[in-house]
A and B are shown apart, each in its own frame.
Chain A
Amino acid sequence: MAQTPTADWILNKVDENFGSDNKIIVSEMVIHGRRGSRTIKSKSWIQGRDKSFSEYLSPPREQGTKMLKLEDQLWTYTPSTDRTIRISGHMLRQSVMGSDLSYEDMMEDPKLQNLYHAQIIGEEEFLDRLCWVLELTSKGEEITYYRRKIWVDKERYVSLKENRYAKSGKLLKTTEVLEVFKAENRWIPRKAVFKDVLKKGKGTEWHILSMEFNADIPDHVFTKASLRR
Chain B
Amino acid sequence: MMLIPRLALRNLLGAGLRTWLNVFVLSLSFVTIIFLQGMYSGMLRQVSDATVDAEFGGGQYWQANYDPFDPLSLQDAHAVIPDSLNNLIEKRKATPVLIVQGTLYPDGRVMPVLLKGIDPNQSFLNFPSKSLAVDNEELPVLIGERMVKSTNLRKGDSVTIQWRDANGTFDARDGRIVEVMSTIVPTIDAGQMWIPLQKLQEMMLMEKEATIVVIAEDLEVSDNVAGWSFKDIDFLLTDIKQVVKMRTIGSSFIYVFLLFLAMLAIFNTQVLSIFRRRKEMGTLMALGVTRLQLIRLFTLEGALNGVLAATIAAVYGIPLLVQLARNGIGLPGDFMDQAGWAIGSRLFPSYGAALVLGTTLLVLIVTTVVSYLPTRKIAKLKPTDALKGKLS
Contacts and interface: CB of A to CB of B under 8 A. Distances in A.
Chain A: interface size category: 20 to 34
A170 B172 contact: yes
Nearest to B71: A90
Contact of B171 (A91, A164, A166, A200): A166
Contacts of A89: 72, 75
B162 A166 contact: yes
Contact of B170 (A90, A167, A200, A201): A167
Contact of A200 (B109, B172, B173): B109
B348 to A, nearest CB: 41
A142 B169 contact: yes
B167 A141 contact: yes
B319 interface: no
Nearest to B105: A198
Contacts of B108: 198-201
A199 B109 CA distance: 6
A146 B171 CA distance: 8
Which applies to chain A's interface (DSSP): helix, strand, loop or mixed?
loop
B248 interface: no
B110 interface: yes
Nearest to B166: A141
B168 interface: yes
Given A90-B74, A90-B75, A199-B108, A170 B169 contact: no
B32 interface: no
Given A172-B172, A199-B108, A167 B72 contact: no
A52 to B, nearest CB: 18
Given A90-B71, A141-B167, A142-B167, A170 B105 contact: no
Contacts of A166: 162, 170-173
Given A170-B160, A199-B105, A200-B109, A145 B170 contact: yes
Given A141-B167, A167-B165, A199-B109, A91 B173 contact: no
A135 to B, nearest CB: 17
Given A167-B169, A200-B109, A90 B72 contact: yes
Interface in B288-310: none
Contact of B162 (A91, A144, A198): A198
A168 interface: yes
B164 interface: yes
Contacts of A144: 164, 168-170
Interface string A115-144: 000000000000000000000001001111
A144 B165 CA distance: 10
Contacts of A88: 72
Interface of A: 88-91, 93, 95, 138, 141-146, 164, 166-168, 170, 172, 196, 198-201
